[in-house]
Structure 1
């Protein structure tokens, strides 16, 4: 009967309850988009306030990503033990407090520590929200639902840039962190009252009162109720730890390719998103024009994430992802020169925003489909965590290269290589043998 419930969610049209769950996950990513890129928005102001070198600023830009990596690797896996919803609540609290403490930082070191705390919360939220959206989506609309997560991220980044310009001008850079922290904490009651626990988690792990909770969800989903819980022997992977299961023959190859793709894409993505405002300013534009350039990337991301999801309903997600990666690499080569040209700069900035955000959306759409419910949050969390390692290195490496005299155009061209290699990795991964879970997904889709 449990298998029938999961299959029903996969095969039936999406209902209002499911779209509400997906929408809350999108809003969580919206808040995270602001929280993640708040350091990029305030980079020029913070750098001037403490007279930071490029390398020192790179460390601050990487601090939040370090925290996200810790959250994805060591916090997110607990969602496969405690549940998705409780972990989101804990991580929202940590992230909100971290943002507020960032506003009160008296030294760059203190700001770096509070950015790590914020990142730990964000890392857990991103992995859990992505998984919940996947588990409440039908097979047909799953790629779109997961791509919308990145749309929320881009919306948060776009409006974060708009707020940052106003707040920095009128209240100083600390106010940007304070507003972000308040918005993050405001999501706690929304999640507590409206975000459902994962049906897959309840069936697989069977916590206390699992049957009652499953049947409440079944009623809201207009599905048949269970008379009793499935036997433990019917639950795949119950006797194997989720981390160890990633290393089994079933998942090892796909996990390795997925980790490589996340590392390369986030290495390039966080360079583009974190350094663009600062590099455009150093290339002769004003600080406000630099922030505006960063906002163009986020505006394009709103379209890019949704576009990738829509294309994935018609074409294979991996092929769409590879195309986005290659277009991103080409666009990066011309971005800095075009940014100073009226008309062309806006067009190229928007195109880069469309494709670079679509690249990330594609990874988030692919990752949950590789793993079954017993290991899904762990698998997605580890993939994001490894990707964050690339994100951590990215701004630090760029900072050292800037101190060494590298020009913005050369930096963008060099980082474009990461997207090119990532396209090859995605294509290789798509032709690697399917896991058992992917075979079941494909059968449901047919």
Structure 2
């Protein structure tokens, strides 16, 4: 492990990273306060705008294709343009949250995403729209990863998984709103209005965050920026804990590049590579399904409105998937829960389009797939947040999601190309199911993922025997 920053426990039987100072230990072991839940709620709202901003392209795909006469391959490129930006934002911008702070990065990235959305509504060609989707994605990629880290760092040990899950719920919730608005706005004022509404909403939440979002306590104590002790003690008072008389020892303030090197220290190298591979495969499948399902349902003989409804139901299911996962993590081991989600998702994708002869069955399966896919992604977020320490947590999350976004970028393009090569929609879903099975196998090899749940006992949180 790097000498510049403790990166967290990597043994399979530990419950989570053990905070090295009394204040963070007190926060980790105590019940959640109203203030902590408010921080999680604000992170949820910010993630909801990200879900709207990312998924809006898939909901407007039919209208954009009709206006500009796009082929499937061209539409695949346009669907991937935003994901390219998201990947770059996750990989190259989000890690700076370990250096400059969670709060300023989230606020700045949200402003970039809002401006990108507004300008996307004014695009005059597919090239312009693609470039602006890339700009929007830069902000979204930085927000998604840093937001998850922020929520997890404000949660107690027992509610860590639930805090990450609740924040993740924002993404499908925003996508649901985007789908519903898309149907109404496209029919009434055209597809451009969907982007304009999303941009205004994102900038409004940016202003709210600038007033209400605090800095991460973990960041203040791990990195110790200017006035860190005074800021940490203000936070301690708000959380109802004793103030610190001095900051914990600080060995170094490594930069972003050394943070990446920490991920490949001997104790973490195996887990880092396996987690990156799992993110790549899971996000490839996730974004193939979320980007192409509306179009593929239409190709299967259903109406465009039903296609959009199918996309919305993916997000509806996603809300319950993240919430159920959060509840399961208070009882079952993290790795086992995520593995179960992955295998069930593979089964549901393999049978999905064979159910389209029954509209009700197809839409129900779509909701179940959304439940399972979002649970898979949320579980990976929780895994990263639990394994890595606060000094490199944003770097670990950003790099993992960034590598995953490479899969997300490739998947819609490959799907469009295969459709032009006369692959059937059912064959594409079966191929995605196989990808998920491989990802499940990789997850079983990750060390430090078999984290025990905890319960309250005598006012403190204690590990409990996990039900396997």
Normalization by structure 1: what TM-score? Answer: 0.95
Pairwise CA distance, 1:288: 0.8
- The answer to whether the 8 Å contact 1:199/1:217 transfers is yes
Residue 108 of structure 2, aligned match among 90, 95, 98: 90
1:70 has 2:88 as partner: yes
Pairwise CA distance, 1:367: 1.1
Q: What does residue range 271-282 of structure 1 map to in structure 2 within 5 Å?
A: 271-282=288-299
1:223 has 2:241 as partner: yes
- Partners of 2:370 and 2:222 lie apart in 1 by 39
- The answer to whether the 8 Å contact 1:2/1:203 transfers is no
Pairwise CA distance, 1:366: 1.1
Residue of structure 1 in register with 2:182 after alignment: 164
Pairwise CA distance, 1:164: 0.5
Q: What does residue range 399-414 of structure 1 map to in structure 2 within 5 Å?
A: 399-414=416-431
Specify whether residues 319 and 236 from structure 1 end up closer, same or farther in structure 2 by C-alpha distance, changes over 3 A only.
farther
1:106 has 2:124 as partner: yes
Pairwise CA distance, 1:200: 0.9
- Partners of 1:318 and 1:393 lie apart in 2 by 26
Residue of structure 1 in register with 2:73 after alignment: 55
Normalization by structure 2: what TM-score? Answer: 0.91
- Partners of 1:228 and 1:203 lie apart in 2 by 10
Specify whether residues 333 and 433 from structure 1 end up closer, same or farther in structure 2 by C-alpha distance, changes over 3 A only.
closer
SS where residue 14 of structure 1 aligns? coil
Matched residue count: 440
- The answer to whether the 8 Å contact 2:387/2:448 transfers is no
1:424 has 2:441 as partner: yes
Q: Which runs of 5+ in 2 are unaligned?
A: 1-18, 464-468
1:250 has 2:267 as partner: yes
1:376 has 2:393 as partner: yes
Q: What does residue range 317-396 of structure 1 map to in structure 2 within 5 Å?
A: 317-396=334-413
1:4 has 2:31 as partner: no
SS where residue 284 of structure 1 aligns? coil
Pairwise CA distance, 1:231: 3.2
**Deviates further, 242-251 or 172-181:** 242-251
Cα displacement string for residues 90-124 of structure 1 (whole angstroms, at most 9, x for unaligned residues) = 10011001111110111101001000000000010
Pairwise CA distance, 1:236: 9.1
Cα displacement string for residues 255-296 of structure 1 (whole angstroms, at most 9, x for unaligned residues) = 111101100000000000000001111111111110011111
Cα displacement string for residues 5-40 of structure 1 (whole angstroms, at most 9, x for unaligned residues) = 111111001110110111111111111110010110
SS where residue 157 of structure 1 aligns? helix
Specify whether residues 278 and 433 from structure 1 end up closer, same or farther in structure 2 by C-alpha distance, changes over 3 A only.
closer
Pairwise CA distance, 1:342: 3.7
- Partners of 1:382 and 1:20 lie apart in 2 by 27
1:147 has 2:171 as partner: no
Aligned structure 1 segments of 4 or more residues deviating by more than 6 angstroms: 235-240, 441-444
- Partners of 2:216 and 2:350 lie apart in 1 by 43
- Partners of 1:408 and 1:391 lie apart in 2 by 18
Cα displacement string for residues 308-353 of structure 1 (whole angstroms, at most 9, x for unaligned residues) = 1111111011111111111111111111121340432232122111
- Partners of 1:2 and 1:221 lie apart in 2 by 18
- The answer to whether the 8 Å contact 1:143/1:312 transfers is yes
Specify whether residues 418 and 240 from structure 1 end up closer, same or farther in structure 2 by C-alpha distance, changes over 3 A only.
closer
- The answer to whether the 8 Å contact 2:21/2:248 transfers is no
Which structure: greater helix fraction? Answer: 1
- Partners of 1:156 and 1:74 lie apart in 2 by 25
Residue of structure 2 in register with 1:210 after alignment: 228
Q: Which runs of 5+ in 1 are unaligned?
A: none
- The answer to whether the 8 Å contact 2:256/2:395 transfers is no
Cα displacement string for residues 417-438 of structure 1 (whole angstroms, at most 9, x for unaligned residues) = 1111111111111xx2679xx8
- The answer to whether the 8 Å contact 2:148/2:168 transfers is no
Residue of structure 1 in register with 2:8 after alignment: none
Residue of structure 2 in register with 1:316 after alignment: 333
Pairwise CA distance, 1:184: 0.6
- The answer to whether the 8 Å contact 1:168/1:176 transfers is yes
CA RMSD of aligned residues (A): 2.0
Cα displacement string for residues 118-144 of structure 1 (whole angstroms, at most 9, x for unaligned residues) = 000001001111001110111111111
Pairwise CA distance, 1:406: 1.2
SS where residue 21 of structure 2 aligns? helix
Residue of structure 2 in register with 1:285 after alignment: 302
- The answer to whether the 8 Å contact 1:232/1:238 transfers is no
Specify whether residues 434 and 334 from structure 1 end up closer, same or farther in structure 2 by C-alpha distance, changes over 3 A only.
closer
Residue of structure 1 in register with 2:136 after alignment: 118
Residue of structure 2 in register with 1:195 after alignment: 213
- Partners of 1:434 and 1:307 lie apart in 2 by 19
Residue of structure 2 in register with 1:38 after alignment: 56
Residue of structure 2 in register with 1:306 after alignment: 323
Residue of structure 1 in register with 2:314 after alignment: 297
